[in-house]
A and B are shown apart, each in its own frame.
Chain A
């Protein structure tokens, strides 16, 4: 009974499949746009962050610059006081916490006897301020960029980062500002050192995630600061140099040194990163490089959550679909059961109650209607069948009655033997025969009522009863026929008629009186074995015209004669080709009768011969045979 996959499961699966597909498509669309938005947002954030940091750094550097500039006039003012120069440098370091060292480096031999003179103040370990004179033969600052470039260009200058061996012993960059005299000559260069560590920490203040990298490079692409991850090289610069080998990185450096602002995607070792870059100042440039996996980490986690929620949701959808569809289709299942019950013959199968007004209700109504119709039909059929059975039963009874109306107790004595057969084509028929011994005489009759069936059988009954009655009255044969004719004709609106052959044999004399009222001529088989049709006058059939004057006839039978009386059911019996048995065949049969054949033998042989002739063809007329043997002594 249970199918391998139920309707609800199938429908639910289909719904689930379609929903999943729609869901996946919309997920992909959402993800695509989310990705785009997040990328844009990340770009914007990074750019903003970069901009803020740039501003922040620029601001600090500008402050440094202004601090230095502001001290320049003090240098000019107090040139004679060399000790004061230490105070100036100390002040620069103290005033600006970002400045880790400051120096006023005079041109060679500015002061008599002092080839090098560069008072220097710096933050030493433990945040204590120390001062010293920087220049000597080991540290010839006249050859250092921070001095040479502003000295020659008379312009302030930020020099590239360097490791200060003699000063602060740290990586630093230096701002140098030329101090001019009235003759527009550079007399000294005042400097401020900014720790690269400070810059780095400033950059690291950006609150970037740990995977993000920040890079600060100089105008020629040289490394200034950053937090490139440790890639196993000795320092950041080595890492930077290594990274520079990748073409993507080279493109980034090129754009940065060109002082461009923008974004680009970096692909290094199959990792995608997102770079935002922009110029800082002095030809410096900063870039923030974030790996994609960080930028889209939230998206990934969101995807994961959505996926889990979707799976759970779809599962719930599937289960509820199953449940709903099962609920909805439960009546169908019950209808199916009801149909099965009905198929087994119980037309009062209980139908499910439907409260909804939908197709299921229609189905219910149709089903109910069918149930009622079938029940009604079955009842009608039962009634009809009962009626038919009653008719059949009554017809069978009628047949029994009709068959019992003709005598079957056949006489067989030393003078006479009679045998007969009556085979109606339907249940009842219009053929009949009768005989009656009365003293020395035997009366006999054979008849055929026009038509067949019940109407014929009724006329047959009247005719037969009339014969039985009249034969007992001692009337002549022709009078008997006349009386039967008048009886039937009197009220014969249907014009039913009967062909009759009525005869009487005096068993002593062998004299036979007979009258043929429209019946087939009878066969007489003489004692010598020769057979012929008995010649008779053609009187009108009985029942056609009242008061018809029937002509009697007489003939002399020799002992040993046989009479064969029959109805047209014998001679007109047809085979499948509609050929008739015919009178000649009957005559031939009569000629073959043996002296020893009894009346019964003759009847049996004749009917067998007729049946052999007709074969499979249906019998369509009543067959009656009556044989009378007038025996030898």
Chain B
């Protein structure tokens, strides 16, 4: 899993590439840390390259969503592959995270 973060002011353009599973979940959390520390952040995550996410990965998206909600920010996931979108749908994450 590669995480690329491009910051312009409070706008964060994040590009995810690869799969999030048990083996790299800790690294994924570490990679997302800059986003977890930002306030008023407008975060857009490009999920084009994300092929899979485990429940652990979902947990980090949940944490990120909770963070932006409590820090006047926003989170948008875009270009999500269908099988990943399905996971977000099944788990109800689509209800709380904006996916375009």
Choice from A452, A495, A620 contacting B63 with Cβ under 8 Å: A495
The yes or no answer to A544 lying at the interface (CB within 8 A) is yes
Say if the beta carbon of B7 comes within 8 Å of chain A: no
With known contacts A452-B22, A495-B66, A620-B22, A540–B59 Cβ distance under 8 A: no
Inter-subunit contact B59/A495 (CB<8 Å): yes
Interface string of A538-567 (1 = CB under 8 A from B): 111100110000000000000000000000
The reply to whether A497 and B62 contact each other, CB–CB distance below 8 Å, is yes
Secondary structure of the A contact surface, majority rule: loop
**A218, CB-defined interface residue at 8 Å:** no
A79→B92 CA distance, assembly (Å)? 181
Q: What residues of A have a CB within 8 angstroms of the CB of B91 in the complex?
A: 499, 518-519, 538, 540-541
Q: Mark A475-511, 1 if CB is under 8 A from B, else 0.
A: 0000000000000000000011101000000000000
Contact A450 B58 (CB under 8 A): yes
Closest to A498 in B: B55
Closest Cβ of chain B: how far from A579's Cβ, in Å? 12
Complexed CA–CA distance, A520 and B91 (Å): 8
Does A450 lie within 8 Å of B66, measured CB to CB? no
Interface size on A, residues (CB 8 A): 22
Chain A neighbourhood of B59, CB < 8 A: 450-451, 495-497
User: Is B95 an interface residue, CB under 8 A from the partner?
Assistant: yes
Q: B40 in the interface, Cβ–Cβ < 8 Å? A: no
- Enumerate chain B residues within 8 angstroms of A172, measured Cβ to Cβ: none
**Alpha-carbon gap, A175 to B93, bound state (A):** 159
Q: Are B62 and A495 closer than 8 Å at their CB atoms?
A: yes
Interface size in chain B (residues, C-beta < 8 A): 16
B13 interfacial by beta-carbon distance below 8 Å: no
For chain A residues 426-483, which have a beta carbon within 8 Å of chain B? 448-452
* Cα–Cα distance between A74 and B74 once the two chains are bound (Å): 171
Residues from chain B with Cβ under 8 Å of A518 in the complex: 90-93
* Cα A218 to Cα B92 with chains together (Å): 150
Choice from B63, B66, B92 contacting A538 with Cβ under 8 Å: B92
Q: Which residue of A lies closest to B60 (CB)?
A: A495
Is A521 at the interface (CB under 8 A from chain B)? yes
Bound-state CA distance A245–B18 (Å) is 119
Query: Cβ of A517: which chain B residues have Cβ within 8 Å of it?
Result: 92
Residues A538 and B56 in contact, CB atoms below 8 Å apart? no
A540-B92 contact in complex given A452-B22, A495-B63, A620-B22, C-beta closer than 8 Å: yes
> Considering the complex, which residues of chain A in the window 511-538 have a beta carbon less than 8 Å from any beta carbon of chain B?
517-521, 538
Docked CA distance A448–B58 (Å): 13
Residue of B nearest to A496 (CB): B59
- B45-63 CB mask vs A (1 if < 8 Å, else 0) is 0000000000110110011
Closest to A537 in B: B92
* Closest chain A CB from B69 CB (angstroms): 9
Cβ contacts under 8 Å, B63 to chain A: 495
Contact B90 A544 (CB under 8 A): no
A450 vs B58: C-alpha distance when bound (angstroms): 8
* A349→B95 CA distance, assembly (Å): 71
> Of A450, A539, A568, which one neighbours B56 at CB under 8 angstroms?
A450
Contact with A along B75-100 (1 / 0, CB 8 A): 00000000000000111111110000
User: Shortest Cβ distance from A553 into chain B, in angstroms?
Assistant: 14
* Chain B positions within 8 Å of A620 at CB level: 22
Q: How far is the CA of A2 from the CA of B96 in the complex (A)?
A: 83
Pair A540/B90 contact, Cβ less than 8 Å: no
- A452-B22, A620-B22 are contacts. A540–B93 as well, Cβ < 8 Å? yes
Please determine whether A521 and B55 come into contact, CB atoms closer than 8 angstroms: no
Q: Which residue of B lies closest to A583 (CB)?
A: B86
Say how far B27's CB is from chain A's closest CB, in angstroms. Answer: 15
Cβ contacts under 8 Å, B89 to chain A? 538
CB distance from A392 to the nearest CB of B (A): 21
Say how far B14's CB is from chain A's closest CB, in angstroms. 19
Are A540 and B96 in contact (CB-based, < 8 A)?
yes
Known contacts A495-B63, A620-B22: does B96 contact A521 (CB below 8 Å)? no
A544 touches B62 (CB 8 A): yes
Q: Judging by beta carbons under 8 Å apart, are B55 and A451 in contact?
A: yes
B2-36 contact mask (Cβ, 8 Å, vs A): 1 or 0: 00000000000000000000100000000000000
A521, A541, A568, most chain B CB atoms within 10 A: A541
With both beta carbons as reference points, the residue of chain A lying nearest to B89 in the complex is identified as A538
A521 CA to B91 CA, complexed, in Å? 10
Contact between A520 and B92, CB atoms less than 8 A apart: no
Q: Is the CB of B62 within 8 A of A519?
A: no
- Measured between beta carbons, the chain A residues less than 8 angstroms from B22 are 452, 620
Listed by A's residue number, 13 A-B pairs whose Cβ atoms lie within 8 Å are: A450-B55, A450-B56, A495-B59, A496-B59, A497-B58, A518-B91, A519-B90, A519-B91, A538-B90, A538-B94, A539-B95, A544-B93, A568-B55
Q: List the 4 closest pairs (A to B, CB-CB), nearest first.
A: A540-B92, A518-B91, A450-B55, A518-B92
Besides A495-B63, A521-B90, 13 more A-B contacts (Cβ < 8 Å) are A448-B55, A449-B55, A450-B58, A450-B59, A495-B59, A497-B59, A519-B91, A538-B92, A538-B95, A540-B95, A544-B93, A544-B96, A568-B55
